[in-house]
Structure 1
Amino acid sequence: MKQAFVLGAGMGERLRPLTEQLPKPLVPVFHRPLITYAFEHLHAVGVDRLVVNTHHLPDAYAQAFPDQRYRGTPIQFRHESPVRLETAGGIANVRDLLGNEPFLVYNGDILTDLPLKPLLTEHREKGNIVTLVLRSHGPSLHIAFDPRRGRVTDIRNKLGTGDEGKYLFTGIYACDPAIHDWITPGKVESVIPIFLNMIREGAKIGAVVIDEGSWWDLGSRTAYLAAHSALNGLYGPAIDPTAQIEDGAVLRGINVVGAGAVIESGAQLEDTIVWPGGRVVRGAQLKRCIVRGSISAAGIVEDADF
């Protein structure tokens, strides 16, 4: 499977005020945009063409990828305006870019290193229209799946099967071009009703359970901070080499300080993230805070964002 549709149009309400400066998929994770981890994950299994939808702050994508490429892989952007089309509507809106070839869909606000090859194998061998990647543990277990048949049977008991679901939907799935037969172009619609209708009508919607690796939904500040703490050291240095940590600054716990950021003398940080270009002024005491780029943080503050 050579192409992927990466969802980049999310509003990121739960991450405000962070997403007032950047779209959610572009918030920095260990100094680089979150969405680039999806790009590299996909590239590792042979994806060589990316399609990304945009809506909120689309110019930020142009700044992040001025040549519409990421490490040699071309990116085609499709802006959704005036309204965001949700996932199913977004897929329909890029049909012309995806053509008549199968494709992967990948939520732009997740961070994961789970192996993708089992998904590709399952999708190819079972001839499914859609194949979801599931996990048997996590925060939202809403997918009902029959491992013997390899078929998804319900979601949140919406079809009245009596099964509320025991599996987490990771936001990664493989699609055959036939998925377009189930989606109405121009309609604002989540993909979940589409999946439910497919199950109801007996269409082949399968899944593969992949519990290996880590998986994070970074849609909230709590998860964003927790992922940085748990994954410290796995995605590069916590302190970017170009960051300036002045003498007399005190850093406790796990802090992530981005490129060109400045931590002034006398500032104290604990379990705090400073985006590239951020500044923490002299005398500031920050605990579990997030400082955006070009922002100067001051005061004695805990569990807040700048």
Structure 2
Amino acid sequence: MKQWEHALVSPQTSLNDAVAVMDKAALRIVMVVGPDRVLLGTLTDGDVRRALLSHYPLESEVSGVMCKTPRAVKGKWSREQILTTMEQYKILQMPVVDAQGRVIGLETLQDMLQRKHLDNPVFLMAGGFGTRLRPLTQNCPKPLLKIGEKPILELILESFVEAGFHRFFISTHFLPDMIKEHFGDGSQWGISIQYVHEDEPLGTGGALGLLPHDEIDLPLFVMNGDLLTRLDFKSLLDFHYAHEGVATMCVREHEHRVPYGVVTSEGHRIKSMVEKPVYRYFINAGIYLLSPALVKTIQRNVQIDMPTILEQQMSAGKNVNMFPVHEYWLDIGRMEDFQRAQDEFGIL
């Protein structure tokens, strides 16, 4: 089966299932088809994120959020025609259809252009003690715990390398020599790695002050070293550039179900009753893009957390944006998370 054939869904498919198909096919699009694969619409990565930002129910049919008038390649278009259309309408994928409107392929900008190196620096935070994972972390830093056959931090690094990034910084504190010995200077992956060491824990953002600020000349990726994700880093970068903020925080929708009937009142009078309501919130996903100007405001050896840094920027009137993550994401903070990562490793 050709890869694009994995990205076909029916209009009755739920948004949740369509996202799973999109993640598995890794094409940043699903094509919604009727009988005989006639193209009815498309759902892109951006469509999904807009639906999540609007709290569109994941159980609803994909037909409610799909683009019903997608642009498609019809007939024998030249490479120049396809690239011109993609550039004109700022689209990354175009279904290919025959004379009857049936899907027979998919053209992607990534496939049509030669892959380029992305020069944005990547900062991986690997200094934590991992106390909730003891005794596994008694003599091993948490980022070096293995998921399958590879350490967590190596899986993270390789996902960035696969996306085209090659400039890395890693922060260390607990058992730093083990991390340096494993990764070295990065030449094994054809990249460069520099290390910054926290003599004392500086919080989730303080290590930014230890970076060589003169080398941070492009938006900087910052990611906790205990996350597993299939996030599309290039899509995050495109979003950050398009929305002109000093920072972009990745967020994940979290669902909280109250197991009781919730009552609201005014004085002694009941105003409403909702049986076992479900509340949805966005939580911090531990992945950020920071402008060089913001990074250079972080002073050396100052203890500070990332939320505080971003709150300071917002208080100063700067734009801090959020980017919803619909792809696979797992924070390996507890023993049950570590076991779950082992069980789910095959889908990464």
TM-score by length of 2: 0.56
Q: Structure 1's 70 and 207: CA in aligned 2 closer, same or farther, altered over 3 A?
A: farther
Question: Partner of 1:107 in structure 2?
Answer: 224
Distance 1:107 1:69, change over 3 A: farther
- 1:12-31 to 2 correspondences below 5 Å: 12-31=130-149
Cα pair 2:254 2:280 within 8 Å, conserved: no
Deviations 1:228-273 (A, max 9, x none): 1133x345xxxxxxxxxxxxxxxxxxxxxxxxxxxxxxxxxxxxxx
> What are the equivalent positions in structure 2 for 1:61-140 lying under 5 Å apart?
61-81=179-199, 83-96=200-213, 98-137=215-254
SS in 1 for 2:283: strand
Deviation sequence 1:198-241 (CA, Å, 0-9, x none): 12221111111121x2111112111000121133x345xxxxxx
CA contact (8 A) 1:10 1:24 kept: yes
Match of 1:35 among 149, 153, 161: 153
Per-residue CA distance 1:175-216 (angstroms, 9 max, x = gap): 1111135423221111111111212221111111121x2111
Q: 1:179/1:208 Cα in 2 relative to 1: closer, same or farther (>3 Å)?
A: same
- C-alpha displacement at 1:173, in angstroms? 1.1
Find the aligned partners of 1:89 and 1:187 in 2 and give their Cα distance.
6
Q: Please give the secondary structure, in 2, of the residue aligned with 1:19.
A: coil
Shift of 1:138: 6.3
Amino acid at match of 2:154: T
Conserved in 1, the CA contact under 8 Å of 2:255 and 2:281? no
Give RMSD over aligned pairs. 2.1
The residue that corresponds to 1:223 in the other structure is 337
Aligned AA for 1:227?
A
* Structure 2: segments with no counterpart, 5+ residues: 1-117, 257-278
CA contact (8 A) 1:138 1:168 kept: no
Query: Are the equivalent residues in 2 in contact too, given 1:51–1:97 (CA < 8 A)?
Result: no
2:26 aligns with none
Give, as a single letter, the amino acid of the residue that structure 2 aligns with 1:85: L
Matches within 5 A, 1:1-306: 1-2=118-119, 3-81=121-199, 83-96=200-213, 98-137=215-254, 166-211=281-326, 213-231=327-345, 233-234=346-347
Specify every segment of 5 or more residues in structure 1 that has no aligned partner in the other structure, as ranges: 140-163, 236-306
Measured at CA, do residues 96 and 128 of structure 1 come closer, stay the same or move farther in structure 2, by a change above 3 Å?
same
User: What count of residue pairs does the alignment treat as equivalent?
Assistant: 208
* Whole-Å separation in 2 of the counterparts to 1:117 and 1:4: 13
Q: Percent identity?
A: 29
Greater helix content: 2
Deviation, 1:51, is: 0.2
In 2, Cα distance between equivalents of 1:182 and 1:205: 15
Give distance in 2, aligned partners of 1:165 and 1:55.
35
* CA deviation vs aligned residue, 1:255-305 (integer Å, no higher than 9, x gap): xxxxxxxxxxxxxxxxxxxxxxxxxxxxxxxxxxxxxxxxxxxxxxxxxxx
**8 Å contact kept, 2:130–2:137:** yes
